[in-house]
Every structure is written in C-alpha cells, then in structure tokens.
Amino acid sequence: MTPPAVAAIVVVFNPNVDYLRQCIDSLIASTAVELDVIVVDNASDIRVELAPRPHVRVERLAHNRGFAAGVNAGLVRTDTPFVWLLNDDAWVEPGCIAAAVAALEQAPQACVGVAPKVLVADETKQIIDSVGNVLMATGEGFNVGIGQPDLGQFDHPERCFGVCFAAGLFRRSAFGEAAVGALDERYFLYYEDIDWCLRANRAGFEFWTAPAAIAYHRHSVSTRQLGLANRYRIVERNLLINATKNLGPRSIVAIWSRRFYVHAVGLFRGPYRIARWQAIGTAAIRVPSIVVRRFWNPAPASAMSDAALFAFAEGERPFFDVDSFTANEHGSARAAALARLRRRNNVVDD
C-alpha cells in the first residue's frame, strides 16, 4: 500500500537554529507517510540555512507578513491531499503524522482536521500543551488541556472546536475557496487558528482529536522575542477582531463590553497599561471595514450558533502562566484533569 502523501509546513522567523533542526529532523524521521517538508522563511533577519535534506525545501518570503501569510504561502506550494502544520519550536514522534492521518480517515466525512495530543516539552512530568482549542463566550481562545497532567483524560477521540496550529493535520482541500478558504492574514499572529476553525464550524465542517498522535511543543519560544507587552497587545486586539468578524451582534456587544471593563480596571492595577489601549484602539480602527465587509458579503447560513460554538469550552480552563511560559502544576490543574476523566467515564460522585 502506498503511504499517504503529506506536506509539512513550518513557518519561521529568526528561529532558534537548534530547535528548528530538531523540528525538521523529527519530521524526516516520520514513518508510514510520504512526507515533503516546506520551511517558509518569513523574511528572517538572517537567512535560514539548512543542510541539504531529501524532501526538504526552504521558501523565503520577501517580507514578514505574519504566520497566516506564511502558512498560505506554503499551501500554494503543495498539492498533497494532507497538510501538517508544525511550529519550529515543536517536534513529533515518528508515528505521529501517520496516526493523525489514520484518525482523519476514520473520522466522519465532515471532518477536515484532527488535533494531536501535544505535550509540553522540557517538563519532568507529562503535561498537556494542547488537544485542540476552544473559544469561550468571553471571546478568549485557548488550548484545551493546557497545563493539566496527562492522566488519560484525552485518550479517546472526540469532536472538538478546532485544532491549534502549533501542530495539526488538515485536508488540503479545506483551504480552498469552495470549503473554508485560506487563513486570514489580517491577524498577523495569534487567533488565525481560532478564526479559521470557527469559520469551518460555521460552514458545517468538523474537527476531532487524535490522541494517538503525539507531538511536543516548547510553548511560545518562537514568539517570545516580541516581548510580553507586545504579545498581550496582539492577542487582545485579535480577540476583538475575531469576535467582530465572526460572531453574532449579541456576542460582539458582550465581548467588547467585557474587554472595555477588563482594560479599564487594568489601567489602575496594571500590567500592560499602554498595550491595553493600543489593543482597543487598533481593533476599533478595523471595525468599520469589518462591518462593511460583513454587510456587502454576508456569510451563508451558519451550521452552528454562537452558543453551540462556545459549548465546546464548557468545563475547560487553562492552567498556564503566560508570564513564565510554564504549566501551573498545582492542585486545581490535576483536579480538572481528574474531573474530565470522570466525566468521560460517566463516574458520578456519591
């Protein structure tokens, strides 16, 4: 049997060379798939050079247009039926991609992507980084399971909101205009995966988890060079852009109101006082163009309501310190893992 053809797209900008080599080497070592690796260099200050490797090529962009644009550039350079996205600060086990392909082929026909079990790298314990992602009614998106110890609570395939683009497998056709379409390059960084997965759910497509596919991720290594304040500003701006672009009027008003309150309080208590108002201001500047586009190009009838989209986040919360980039290995993270395991096994407390 001919192994499935997969294109692995790795977008880089001023990468840690050792981490990038580990990422590429892990992809090359993948078993039971016919893999081509496309490294998209987003105009790094220093040209990315990799020793010649079979089935690995580097495509250098003239300008840094952000992560979404890097992925889109990689997509137009391949015609394989499957696409694997991987951050340059992540790596995969040899059988990871093959297990993901098997999970995608076994999932319902409407499934266009699967989320592997991604573990936090450099931890003495098995800590979850992501098993897909969710979107809350507050407009906040985060990785499912992040910071929880891996107790087997995610070991059975299940439908999920979406796939974190740090590591995931997709049908190449889903990025075509007849399906979900390309990534929205207006985000530059952060929330492009939430946006794309939200649009896919709206269009009637599905995502499932693939817990047998194991990857590892050094959380946010590739974006720490931005600094915490800049990361916060971009995340908060894109949270509002995603809500304004994709959600219903009630959700939009609720999310904007909540963020105004949060940032008003933050002006007095800190941190990131300047970044907060930069986020609000830059998001507000984009609102008119988003509203005009929604008016002149209304989306087709949605297969899912806002409430149904938010339902995927029920019972989920992050256990991760964004300032130190480490998992919060405290009792509540373990309690959440055990609670999820009990829910999955239908265990009822006496």
The CATH number given to whatever domain includes residue 331 is 3.90.550.10
Task: State residue 329's pLDDT score.
Answer: 64
CA dist 346 and 339 (Å) reads 10
The proportion of the chain whose per-residue pLDDT surpasses 90, expressed as a percent, equals 81
Which of the pair, 47 or 33, is modelled with greater confidence? 33
Q: Which residue has the tokens 């080599």?
A: 21
Average pLDDT over the chain, rounded to an integer: 93
Arithmetic mean of pLDDT, 164-182: 97
CA dist 127 and 203 (Å) reads 33
**Binning pLDDT at 50, 70 and 90, where does residue 276 land?**
very high
Structure tokens of 194?
Answer: 């939430």
**Binning pLDDT at 50, 70 and 90, where does residue 211 land?**
very high
Arithmetic mean of pLDDT, 276-291: 95
**Binning pLDDT at 50, 70 and 90, where does residue 222 land?**
confident
Helices marked H in 107-220 — which ranges? 192-202
The model's pLDDT over 69-115, given as tens digits with 9 standing for 90+, comes to 999 999 999 999 999 999 999 999 999 999 999 999 999 999 999 99
Domain interval for residue 259: 1-350
Of 52-56, 265-269, 302-306, the range with the lowest mean pLDDT is: 52-56
Arithmetic mean of pLDDT, 305-331: 85
**Binning pLDDT at 50, 70 and 90, where does residue 347 land?**
low
The alpha carbon of residue 91 and the mean position of all alpha carbons in its chain are separated, in whole angstroms, by: 15
Residue 153 has pLDDT above 80, yes or no: yes
Arithmetic mean of pLDDT, 133-142: 97
Q: Are 74 and 40 in contact (CB under 8 A)?
A: yes
Q: Which residue has the tokens 């998209």?
A: 40
Which of the pair, 279 or 297, is modelled with greater confidence? 279
Give the E-state strand segments of 139-250 in sequence order.
Answer: 141-143, 159-160, 167-171, 206-217
**Collapsed DSSP state (helix, strand, coil) of residue 29:** coil
CA dist 45 and 38 (Å) reads 19
Phi, psi of 5, deg, nearest 5? -90, 125
Report DSSP letters for 158-176, one per residue: -EESB--TTEEEEEGGGGS
Task: State residue 53's pLDDT score.
Answer: 83
Arithmetic mean of pLDDT, 22-30: 97
Task: State residue 346's pLDDT score.
Answer: 75
Structure tokens of 104?
Answer: 């995608």
Arithmetic mean of pLDDT, 162-177: 98
Task: State the total domains in the chain.
Answer: 1
Task: State residue 48's pLDDT score.
Answer: 81
Helices marked H in 37-145 — which ranges? 67-75, 96-106
Of 21-30, 44-53, 92-101, the range with the lowest mean pLDDT is: 44-53
Task: State residue 123's pLDDT score.
Answer: 63
Task: State residue 344's pLDDT score.
Answer: 80
